[in-house]
Amino acid sequence: MRHKLWTIFLRFLHNVRADAAANLGAMLAVGLAVSIPLMFGLMAINMGRLADSFAGQVEIMAYISVDAGEAQIQPTLAAIRQMSEVESAQVVTAEEALGRFREELPEAAELIRELDKNPLPPSIEIRLHARYRDLPAMEGFARQIGVLPGIVEVDYGKEWAQRLGQVIRYLWMFTFLIGLFLAGASGLLVANTIRLAIYRRHEEITIYRLVGASNSFIRIPLLLEGIFQGLLGSLIGFGLGDAAFYFLGRQYRVSSEISSWLLGGISPHWFSPSLLVAVLAIGGGIGFIAAVFSTSRHMRI
Amino acid sequence: MISFHHVTKRYSPFAIALDDVSVHLEKGEMVFLTGPSGAGKTTFLRMIYAAEIPTEGQVMVAGRNVAKLKESSIPYLRRNIGVIFQEFRLLRERTVFENVAMALEVLGVPRGLLRRKTMTILGHVGMQAKMDEYPDSLSGGEQQRVAIARALVNEPSIVLADEPTGNLDDSMTEQVINLLREINVRGATVVIATHDRDLLERHASRILELERGKLINTLSERAHQL
């Protein structure tokens, strides 16, 4: 058995060498098919991280009815503080809110002086524990406190968050569709390479069958060839993506002011070893499926 | 060893390769199959190594019904059958040694044993000195001897030869037939398809004659009378 496996492996190496040009073509196609969705995927990951990072900096403001007295505010504040998501919560009176407004916008002092009464409502300023600082958790929390007595409105940058979430969802969908399309196209190319290899080796396969070679003896080297094309192709794709991100990364470091505005100060997520493993598995899988398809279709005893 | 029971092979209603053929070949027999081109000789041989399945009837080889063999069992049947063709069917990009050794590769024979067995059979057919040469540099007779070595290297119990001397001159023909006779003497059942009347006169002990797919004669011990 060991000798048979070794013979099969040697035949696979011999075939790869003999059909080097066709193999290289298929690998480059797989490489492109892998690198393009990889780029979009990374873009989506980084936008998701940006959204989460933004959520982490935002505090939740629960606005209180101007008519609410101390007797209504204190129990609501206590109820909020007891919630497991809450790290800290404090009341900001209408006067404190106006004071902050004056500090942040001194140029509006004239305008404020002309007002008959303070237009700003009192509020409860809430900061969540780090593990709850993401958009879905904040949305759920806002719904929960919105029904407490005295609370009239809860603000956590919902519109901005929803819009960003939608962009990220579209980006993931696009990544998935383009990935699916390119995986299909590169799979067909690998299948075609294997089909041509079967035709080219027709005489050899016929003789092997004649001397009693089993189906697996003939098929396994072709399956290995498909996996090899997929694996090496995805490695090429990973390399292309890595090179592109390397140059982007350099750009990022050079123009840190622009990038800090764009990325909100987060450090972008680059290629990781686990991503490499996933990409190789996908590439190898494409090659394997294509080779199985091709050999079952074009090889008969 | 080999039995045909009312075997018919029909490719279409108007293309009948074999028509109700019944014959039995004993273990260790050497049989000549003859008839004009298109008589069904090649189809007869192809049925024995399961390259064709009968439309009607049964082909039994070593007790197994060829038509009922599972696809995965066909290689095991073929490992007991050596096949030789008129056009040699050697791989041009492989050396003489590699062409012969491929019949052992499929069995997973360890490399040392593979080398010993291949060298022995090449020595037997007189091709050991040319083991590193490629088929294109050999004469027709030499190529046929390599093809015979490939068919015999795993010591099959049945050897089928389809016009094995069709491309050879008289002296090479004698050498090839003598090799096949030697294999037969060692116990293998040998079936040789040929339309060469001289060959039948000189060597045949039992002759099966086909015409338009029908077995019209089964003659024994009468080659000298032809």
pLDDT in tens, A3-45: 778 888 888 888 888 778 888 888 888 888 888 887 777 777 7
The ipTM of this complex is 0.86
Query: How far is Cα B127 from Cα B164, in angstroms, rounded to an integer?
Result: 17
Q: Which two tokens stand for residue A8?
A: 């099969």
- The predicted-structure confidence for A59-99, as pLDDT tens digits, reads as follows 788 999 888 788 888 899 999 999 998 999 999 988 888 88
CA dist A57 → A86, A129, B37 (Å): 14, 11, 90
Determine the pLDDT at residue B226.
46
Query: How many interface pairs between A and B have CB atoms less than 8 angstroms apart?
Result: 53
CATH number of the domain at B202, please: 3.40.50.300
A212–B75 CB contact, under 8 Å: yes
Residue of chain A minimizing CA distance to B154: A211
Q: Which residues of A touch B109 (CB under 8 A)?
A: 3
B139 within domain boundaries: yes
Residue of chain A minimizing CA distance to B89: A207
Determine the pLDDT at residue A241.
78
Residue for token pair 């995805």: A234
Which of A111-120, A231-240, B81-90, B148-157 is least confident?
A111-120
Q: Which of B88, B94, B107, B160 to mutate to test the interface with A (most CBs of A within 10 A)?
A: B107
- Which amino acid is residue B22, in one-letter code? S
Number of neighbouring beta carbons within 10 Å of residue B38: 13
Q: Which residues of A touch B (CB under 8 A)?
A: 1-4, 7, 203-204, 206-215, 217, 301
Residue of chain B minimizing CA distance to A7: B105
Residue of chain A minimizing CA distance to B109: A3
- Partner-chain residue, chosen from A3, A203, A212, that has the shortest CB–CB distance to B76: A212
Q: Quick one: pLDDT band at residue A301, thresholds 50, 70, 90?
A: very low
| pTM for this predicted structure | 0.68
- Which amino acid is residue A118, in one-letter code? N
Q: Which of B48, B94, B105, B152 to mutate to test the interface with A (most CBs of A within 10 A)?
A: B105
- 3-state DSSP helix/strand/coil percent for chain B, to nearest 5? 40, 30, 35
B147 within domain boundaries: yes
Residue of chain A minimizing CA distance to B100: A211
**Residues B52, B9: contact at Cβ < 8 Å?**
yes
Structural domain for B179, as ranges:
27-52+75-225
Q: Which residues of A touch B108 (CB under 8 A)?
A: 1-4, 7
What region does A274 belong to: left with phi over 0, alpha with psi -120 to 50, or beta? alpha
Q: Which residues of B touch A3 (CB under 8 A)?
A: 108-111
- For A193, residues 6+ apart whose C-beta sits below 8 A from its C-beta are A19, A22, A23, A25, A26, A225, A229
Chain A closest-CA separation from residue B108 CA (Å):
4
Residue-by-residue pLDDT tens, chain B, 226 positions: 899 999 999 988 888 889 999 999 999 999 999 988 888 999 999 999 999 999 999 999 988 999 889 888 999 999 999 999 988 899 998 999 999 999 999 888 888 999 999 999 999 888 999 999 999 999 988 999 999 999 999 889 999 999 888 877 888 888 888 888 888 998 899 999 998 888 888 877 788 999 888 888 777 654 444 4
Residue of chain B minimizing CA distance to A18: B93
B103 within domain boundaries: yes
**Residues A30, A94: contact at Cβ < 8 Å?**
no
Query: How far is Cα A149 from Cα A75, in angstroms, rounded to an integer?
Result: 9
- Partner-chain residue, chosen from B76, B78, B110, that has the shortest CB–CB distance to A3: B110
DSSP class of residue B73 equals G
Chain A closest-CA separation from residue B105 CA (Å):
7
Residue for token pair 């396969």: A205
- Partner-chain residue, chosen from B71, B109, B154, that has the shortest CB–CB distance to A3: B109
What 3-state class would DSSP assign to A151?
strand
Looking at the structure of chain B, the number of domains it has is: 1
**pLDDT over 80 (residue A112):** no
Helix (H) or strand (E) holding A79: helix A70-82
The fold of the A59-156 domain, in CATH, is: Alpha-Beta Plaits (3.30.70)
Query: How far is Cα A64 from Cα A260, in angstroms, rounded to an integer?
Result: 35
- For A13, residues 6+ apart whose C-beta sits below 8 A from its C-beta are none
B14 within domain boundaries: no
**pLDDT over 90 (residue A239):** no
- Which amino acid is residue B49, in one-letter code? Y
- For A22, residues 6+ apart whose C-beta sits below 8 A from its C-beta are A193, A196, A197
Q: Which two tokens stand for residue B12?
A: 């279409």
Residue of chain B minimizing CA distance to A205: B91
Q: Which residues of B touch A19 (CB under 8 A)?
A: none
- For A269, residues 6+ apart whose C-beta sits below 8 A from its C-beta are A42, A45, A46, A49
- For B153, residues 6+ apart whose C-beta sits below 8 A from its C-beta are B100, B101, B103, B104, B117, B118, B121
A215–B71 CB contact, under 8 Å: yes
Could you state, in order of their start, the residue ranges of all structural domains in chain A? 2-54+162-298, 59-156
Helix (H) or strand (E) holding A127: strand A123-128
- Which amino acid is residue A207, in one-letter code? I
* Between A278 and B133, the higher pLDDT residue: B133
- Partner-chain residue, chosen from B72, B79, B111, that has the shortest CB–CB distance to A212: B79
Query: How far is Cα A200 from Cα B162, in angstroms, rounded to an integer?
Result: 25
CA dist B73 → B60, B68, B77 (Å): 14, 10, 7
B18 within domain boundaries: no
- Partner-chain residue, chosen from B49, B91, B150, that has the shortest CB–CB distance to A204: B91
**Residues B61, B1: contact at Cβ < 8 Å?**
yes
Q: Which residues of B touch A209 (CB under 8 A)?
A: 75, 78
Provide the residue count of chain B: 226
Q: What is the full DSSP assignment across B151-176?
A: HHTT--SEEEEESTTTT--HHHHHHH
Q: Which residues of A touch B76 (CB under 8 A)?
A: 212
B6 within domain boundaries: no
Mean pLDDT, range A263-288, rounded to an integer: 77
